[in-house]
Amino acid sequence: DAEIIALRTAQVVIDLRDQLGFGAGHIPGAFGIGAGEKVSMWASWVVPYDTPILLVSGGASADVELAVRNLVRVGLDTVEGYLDGGMTAWIEAGLPLRETPQITPRDLSARLAQGTIQLLDVREDNEWAEGHAAGATHIIAGHVGANLSQVPNGTRPLAVMCGSGYRSTVAASVLERAGRDDVVNVTGGMTAWRMAGLPTVKGGPS
Instruction: Categorize the per-residue pLDDT at 84 as very low, low, confident or very high, splitting at 50, 70 and 90.
Output: confident
* Mean pLDDT, range 128-156, rounded to an integer: 95
**Taking a C-beta distance cutoff of 8 angstroms, is the pair 131, 171 a contact?**
no
Of 153, 121, 150, 116, nearest to 134 by C-alpha is 121
Residue 51 to residues 25, 75, 138, Cα–Cα distance (Å): 23, 11, 30
Q: Is the pLDDT of residue 58 over 90?
A: no
* Mean pLDDT, range 180-188, rounded to an integer: 96
Cα gap 147→138, rounded to integer Å: 11
Q: In terms of C-beta density within 10 A (0-12 exposed, 13-18 middle, 19 or more buried), how is residue 105 classed?
A: buried
Percent of the chain, pLDDT > 90? 79
**Taking a C-beta distance cutoff of 8 angstroms, is the pair 109, 83 a contact?**
no
Cα gap 183→158, rounded to integer Å: 5
Q: What is the pLDDT of residues 32-49, one digit of tens each?
A: 999 988 999 999 999 999
Q: What is the pLDDT of residue 37?
A: 85
Please, which residues bridge with residue 160 across strands? Answer: 120, 185
Q: What is the pTM of this model?
A: 0.92
Q: What is the pLDDT of residues 91-111, one digit of tens each?
A: 998 989 999 999 999 999 999
For the CA atoms of the chain, what is the radius of gyration? 17
Q: What is the pLDDT of residue 130?
A: 94
Q: What is the pLDDT of residue 154?
A: 78
**Taking a C-beta distance cutoff of 8 angstroms, is the pair 137, 121 a contact?**
yes
Q: What is the pLDDT of residue 7?
A: 45
* Mean pLDDT, range 157-163, rounded to an integer: 98
Q: For the chain, what is the mean pLDDT?
A: 92
